Structure 1
Amino acid sequence: MLTPGRLSLARKRRGLTKKALAEALGVTPHTVLRYESGDISPPAEVIDRMATLLDFPVTFFCSPDIDELVADAASFRSLTAMSARDRDAALAAGAIGYLLSDWLDENFSLPPADLIDLSGETPEVAARSLRQEWGLGEQPIKNTVHLLEAKGVRVFSLAENTRTVDAFSVWRGDRPFVFLNTIKTPEHSRFDAAHELGHLVMHKHGGPSGRRAEDDANRFASSFLMPSADVLSRIPRVHTLNQIVEAKKRWAVSVMAMIYRLHALGILSDWQYRTFCIQASDRGYRTSEPFGIPREHSIVWQKVLATLWAERTTKTDIADRLAVPLEEIENLLFGLAGALPVVVHPQSARGSLRIV
């Protein structure tokens, strides 16, 4: 028996419309609509064709319902530039991330969410308040992914081959999720992670939406990664772009993010801001970074995969258990798990992971 929501999810994950799937199956679009609404169930041979066309195991389509992500509940950074197809494909990847997260909860004990509700605060106040709550002081953050994971946020990657899907975040009950596209620079991903953290703490219960919400999250990320007191004490004045390029190393941010922050703090005049933005663009700093940093990896998935490897359990075994293509597991961990094995702490064996 077909589970309607799973057909819809697999179709969206592959970027197909109902009409396109109908043509491939040799049925009418109305028939596909009735399949996805649960009005009728396709015969076994049609489910087999679906599995082949969509490259999902047959068992995927007949398993229990999955919690779906809806666009209104997720924060996307590039709403105006994003097509509905790209948005739906990313949301479908997020739903598979839910499956993987549930499997993780069944096998390991991870930290509960430790985020505070900062709705109603200005982005700058929210950033300072969260730093104070977490005891971060004014020091630069060494690894944003590690920090989010230590505070109970589930971090997954998005292997979407499009620059319109930067990242998105969502609350699922009491568990916060962040999905990061790793197609851009490591500095950009750090900012994306902080941006989504801003959404999680400021917009859990609604509030500003659209461009206003995105601007607030950008201001939060800028303040969170580059605390005002630290920046002002180290860069009281700027005369050249090279000073900014050198300074950005401390906070591991992009040149453009550093320029924005210096302007927001009044260190750069409007004229300097425009001049340095033009110079940075001419040097190609909008798409690449001087003195680039290594990409941040997930400590959770490094330890999980090391533990499983010791038990001779592979990512293929996880994919089989969840009835999803191995590629989908790889996509969710791409750029996060890292390539090097890690030593598992004695307290980090299966059943408990110590995140520090």
Structure 2
Amino acid sequence: MVTPSRITLARKRRGLTLAELSEAVGVSLQSLSNYETGRTRPRTSTLSRLATALDFPVAFFSAPEIDELPAEGISWRARSKTPPRVLEAARAAGGLATQLHEWIESRFRLPVVDVPTLGKPDPETAAEMVRRRWGLGSAAAPNMIHLLEAHGVRVFSLDPDYAEVDAFAVWQGPVPFVFLNTGKTGERSRFDAAHELGHLVMHGHDRSCTGPTAEKQANEFASAFLMPASSVLGHVPRGAHVDQILEAKRIWRVSAMALTYRLHDLGLLSDWQYRSACAELSKRGYRSDEPAGIKHETSQVLAKVFRGLRSTGVRASDVAAELAISVDELNKMLFGLTITAVEGGRTGPALTRNHRLTLVR
């Protein structure tokens, strides 16, 4: 038995068109289209060639349906000219991550979702409201991934091969998901996480989360969330020069450019001072990088989950086999966490055992 939608998802995950996959497998375009729509089923030999071309285990294609992430509900943080196939590949990866999430949720007690959806307030007010609700006051935000996870956001990493996609967020029913590219600097990844939180909070389930207006709102939310006005005004003098900006950015663990923009937004830098600071920062390499930046933040939930599994003899290869994906595919979702994975035979308790893990904020 073959699940047609899984052929489609695997093809999109690899960024292939029907024509490209048709050529790689050696079947007609019409036959491949019929496989994906369920009109006909591939023979065993053909399915084996499909699995090889798509780099998925044969078992993947006979597993139950995977709910695709809703295309219209995704907030993409990506370059404006990112090819649609790259976005589709990232969306397909997100679908696989939701499958992993369901597997984890059936075995562990995860944090309850506590993400308000505030459609009316402006980004600055929305950021203040979330900070107040989460008890942050005006202090610098802690590890952003840990913070999101503590409030029920399921956070996974993106395949680094698709560098054009920085991040994206989506509500899958009542559960919010955020996906982050690990190829960014630590500071920029923190901003991406806050940006996607802004989409979840301000655009929720029923407001447009794409387009210039939505992106501007999410950027303003992230800026206000990471750099509260009262804190910035209390730490940075008016007309701060570049060296002062570089020193101050450590307080909020943000990029130099992000802090410079915030200072201008709060009226602490004039237009001329802002342009001059940006030019000087660009000369010093801060336009696209963050020299001597902070360490990349990673997942606390996923680390605890796999640590708990290992303690009971369950390995990453066991989890991958349960999901009918490769260990490499699994690892790409896990922020580069060090996981001992040995392919082949398995030992230890059966995976049907309910391993409970209570995560404490």
TM-score range, shorter chain: over 0.9
Task: Using the TM superposition, name which of 263-272 and 293-302 deviates more.
Answer: 293-302
Q: Is the 8 A contact 2:75 2:209 kept in 1?
A: no
Separation (CA, whole Å) in 2 of partners of 1:197 and 1:238:
30
Q: 1:156 Cα shift?
A: 0.2
**Which residue matches 1:78?**
78
AA aligned opposite 1:174: P
**Which residue matches 1:50?**
50
Separation (CA, whole Å) in 1 of partners of 2:329 and 2:158:
10
- In the TM superposition, 1:1-356 aligns within 5 A as 1-78=1-78, 80-204=80-204, 205-207=206-208, 209-335=210-336, 337=337, 350-356=355-361
AA aligned opposite 1:131: R
AA aligned opposite 1:350: H
**Which residue matches 1:343?**
none
Shift in alpha-carbon separation, 1:188–1:234, aligned structure 2, 3 A: same
Percent of paired sites with the same residue: 49
What stretches of structure 2 of length at least 5 have no aligned partner?
Answer: 341-353
Task: Using the TM superposition, name which of 294-303 and 166-175 deviates more.
Answer: 294-303
CA deviation digits over 1:64-118, x for unaligned, max 9?
A: 1001123322110125221112111111110010110000111101111101111
Separation (CA, whole Å) in 1 of partners of 2:67 and 2:61:
14
Separation (CA, whole Å) in 2 of partners of 1:41 and 1:95:
23
SS of 2:171's partner is strand
AA aligned opposite 1:24: A
Q: 1:59 Cα shift?
A: 0.8
Shift in alpha-carbon separation, 1:152–1:140, aligned structure 2, 3 A: same
Task: Using the TM superposition, name which of 154-163 and 188-197 deviates more.
Answer: 154-163
Q: Is the 8 A contact 1:300 1:353 kept in 2?
A: no
Q: Is the 8 A contact 2:194 2:226 kept in 1?
A: yes
Separation (CA, whole Å) in 2 of partners of 1:94 and 1:208:
17
Q: 1:286 Cα shift?
A: 2.1
SS of 2:333's partner is helix
CA deviation digits over 1:20-73, x for unaligned, max 9?
A: 111112222122112111111111111111111111111100111001123322
What stretches of structure 1 of length at least 5 have no aligned partner?
Answer: 341-348
Q: 1:291 Cα shift?
A: 3.8
Separation (CA, whole Å) in 2 of partners of 1:224 and 1:57:
43
AA aligned opposite 1:329: L
The RMSD of aligned alpha carbons is 1.6
AA aligned opposite 2:188: H
CA deviation digits over 1:185-219, x for unaligned, max 9?
A: 01111000000000001111214631111111000
Q: Is the 8 A contact 1:161 1:183 kept in 2?
A: no
SS of 1:319's partner is helix
CA deviation digits over 1:200-250, x for unaligned, max 9?
A: 011112146311111110000000000000101111313411110000000
Separation (CA, whole Å) in 2 of partners of 1:36 and 1:339:
34
SS of 1:167's partner is strand
Relative to the length of structure 1, the TM-score reads 0.94
AA aligned opposite 1:353: T
SS of 1:115's partner is coil
Q: 1:13 Cα shift?
A: 0.9
How many equivalent pairs are there?
A: 347
Q: 1:2 Cα shift?
A: 1.6
